[in-house]
Homo-oligomer: A and B are copies of this chain.
Amino acid sequence: LFIIGTGLIGKTLLSQIDSQRDYLLEHSGIDIRIAGVANSRYMMFNREGLEISSILNELPNGDTSSVEFFISRMTELNLPNSIFIDNTANAIIPIFYEKILQKNISIVTPNKVAASSSYDRYRSLNLLAKQKNIQFLYETNVGAGLPILSTIKALNDSGDRIQKIEAVLSGSLSFIFNNYDGSTDFSLLVNQAKEKGYTEPDPREDLNGKDVMRKIVILTREAGYPVELDDVVLSSFLPESCFNVDSVEEFFIELSTQDGAMLSLLNVARENNAKLRFIAAMESGKCQVSLHQVSEESPFYGLTSSDNMVVIYTDRYCDNPLVIRGPGAGAQVTAAGVFSDVIYITKTL
């Protein structure tokens, strides 16, 4: 493994690998070695495998970090069964994915940048991995460790056809709407969600729906439909004025002017015995993202906490969909999803 990124996910992955290494060696004959690690400042290598438990302590004694140099060193080492793991949300590192795959090195990443970039790029990276008989895996791009992309892939491979996907893909928006019962002003609830760490430090990044758009684009592509981010129809439940402000403080002031409008939406839903859910939907390749009223029959009605939920309708799962639900964010489950992708690759070797 060659790992870039020692933030929350990267650290957690190192710790999970450290705990599980002996088990995998004994039970599955998988000998995982970490031959290179980098963060934005330092990097270090050991072709025999770094001592995992001391990587984070030793890293500041390493060389000055550079993505280019990290990748050249990785390719020079030319170790069999190499896997590159990009544990960042960085936009630069994905530029190198093509070069890495060209060198017959598989890639595993929670970084959404590549899979949600242009369809051409998405497709060419996937085709390249296929041609090279290696893997380009990004299960954690959607729903963190939940087995969503692998399930869609297995359905496609066995000849099923994905007709429709409906999904709650944002943990923060899930938390906000699952808990919005009118007893607290909407803007105050968003502030509480922020305080509890359910949203980004700037909640606009969650409330603008962009992250959900990227995720439904990835799901749609995995389902076999070419789609671009610009093709997704987003209906924001907030006016532009909320986002066209300079600071988080001003955003909350703007947001509070919408408390009445949000309460009206909630009350209309209640009159219909429905609940509000922020849903990304794909049907026959067309994507929409918007706030919905869902009635008691909907799988989304009973959603609680900050859970994600993906509802998949196919030729074979037509009357009743296949549903996967659970926490779709968090360092432990995201790192575990990255780890599972790595283990899957070891089984294909």
Name A's B-contacting residues (CB within 8 A): 16, 19-20, 23-24, 27-29, 130, 133, 145-147, 150-151, 154-155, 157-160, 296-297, 299, 301-302, 304-307, 316-317, 319-327, 332-333, 336, 339-340, 343-344, 347-348
Q: Once the chains are docked, how many angstroms separate the CA of A154 from the CA of B306?
A: 23
Decide: A316 and B333 in contact? CB cutoff 8 A: yes
Nearest B-chain residue to A338, judged by Cβ: B158
Contacts of A343 in B (CB 8 A): 154, 157-158
Complex partner residue of A327 from B133, B305, B307, B320, CB under 8 angstroms: B320
Decide: A324 and B327 in contact? CB cutoff 8 A: no
Nearest B-chain residue to A316, judged by Cβ: B332
Q: Once the chains are docked, how many angstroms separate the CA of A249 from the CA of B332?
A: 54
Decide: B296 and A336 in contact? CB cutoff 8 A: no
Q: Once the chains are docked, how many angstroms separate the CA of A247 from the CA of B317?
A: 35
Interface of A is mostly: mixed
Complex partner residue of A326 from B146, B321, B332, B336, CB under 8 angstroms: B321
The 5 closest A-B pairs by CB, nearest first: A20-B159, A322-B326, A302-B302, A323-B325, A158-B339
- Among A159, A297, A317, A347, find the residue whose CB has the most chain B CB atoms closer than 10 A: A159
Decide: B340 and A320 in contact? CB cutoff 8 A: no
Contacts of A150 in B (CB 8 A): 147, 150
Q: How many copies does the complex hold?
A: 2
Complex partner residue of A320 from B19, B319, B323, B326, CB under 8 angstroms: B326
Decide: B326 and A317 in contact? CB cutoff 8 A: yes
Contact A326/B326 with A160-B336, A297-B304 known, Cβ cut-off 8 Å: no
- Among A28, A304, A320, A332, find the residue whose CB has the most chain B CB atoms closer than 10 A: A320
Whole-angstrom distance from the CB of A273 to the nearest CB of chain B? Answer: 13
Q: Once the chains are docked, how many angstroms separate the CA of A228 from the CA of B163?
A: 41
Decide: A146 and B322 in contact? CB cutoff 8 A: yes
Q: Once the chains are docked, how many angstroms separate the CA of A340 from the CA of B348?
A: 15
Complex partner residue of A319 from B154, B160, B305, B339, CB under 8 angstroms: B305
Apart from A160-B336, A322-B325, A325-B325, what are 6 other A-B pairs with CB-CB below 8 Å?
Answer: A28-B157, A147-B150, A154-B340, A301-B302, A317-B333, A348-B348
Decide: B326 and A323 in contact? CB cutoff 8 A: yes
Nearest B-chain residue to A349, judged by Cβ: B348
Q: Once the chains are docked, how many angstroms separate the CA of A311 from the CA of B304?
A: 14
Contact A302/B307 with A324-B324, A327-B320 known, Cβ cut-off 8 Å: no
